[in-house]
């Protein structure tokens, strides 16, 4: 009889621990991502423009270094890898990019996600997973490499 109770207790412990490992924790907000580039400001600005060609732009001001997209609903432009279920109808987001002038211009990318659960509720801020921001920074870096390769090919690169 004691052997049966030990077996039942161990089975219950396994089931309880298995259930606790399958629960999903909310993704922490990582905040805005940034990267400095060793190019001049105008070239970085051009590369940001090329990296955001698929996005509807609302603010595009090179003097202040601010670019902001229109509100994008759901996953019209970006779909996270491995996401099987579509976002709810009340989800929308904006991409904000700030380019700081200087010796090495710094690009700061942030994604502001809002979720409206129903018509009457206030929008709720949802943390970003940071993947789209990393993708935009990668595209900017690639555009700069392409531009550098063209300048090098044409003999315009000073070394």
Residue in the block written with tokens 């904006």: 94
3-class SS of residue 7:
helix
> Is it the case that residue 56 has pLDDT exceeding 80?
yes
pLDDT in tens, 80-119: 666 666 556 678 889 999 999 989 999 999 999 888 877 7
> 4 φ, ψ to 5°?
-70, -40
Helix 41-51 to helix 131-153 angle (10° resolution) is: 120
Domains of the chain with CATH codes: 27-153 (3.30.530.50)
The chain-wide mean pLDDT, for the chain, equals: 80
What are residue 134's phi and psi, to 5 degrees?
A: -65, -40
Residue 86, burial from CB neighbour count under 10 angstroms (0-12, 13-18, 19+): exposed
The answer to whether residues 30 and 111 touch, using CB atoms and an 8 Å cutoff, is no
16-52, pLDDT tens digit by residue?
555 544 444 444 556 688 999 999 999 999 999 999 9
Write down the residue that tokens 């922490």 correspond to.
28
């Amino acid at each position: 009889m004691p052997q049966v109770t030990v077996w039942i207790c161990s089975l219950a412990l396994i089931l309880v621990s298995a259930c606790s490992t399958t629960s999903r924790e909310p993704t922490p907000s990582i905040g805005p991502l940034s990267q400095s580039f060793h190019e001049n400001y105008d070239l970085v600005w051009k590369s940001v423009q090329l990296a955001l060609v698929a996005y509807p732009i609302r603010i595009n001001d090179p003097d202040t270094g601010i670019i902001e997209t229109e509100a994008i609903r759901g996953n019209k432009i970006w779909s996270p890898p491995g996401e099987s279920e579509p976002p709810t109808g009340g989800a929308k987001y904006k991409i904000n990019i700030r380019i700081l002038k200087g010796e090495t211009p710094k690009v700061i990318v942030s994604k502001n996600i809002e979720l409206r659960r129903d018509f009457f509720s206030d929008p709720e801020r949802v943390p970003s997973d940071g993947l789209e921001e990393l993708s935009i920074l990668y595209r900017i870096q690639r555009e700069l490499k392409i531009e550098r390769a063209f300048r090098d090919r044409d003999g315009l690169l000073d070394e």
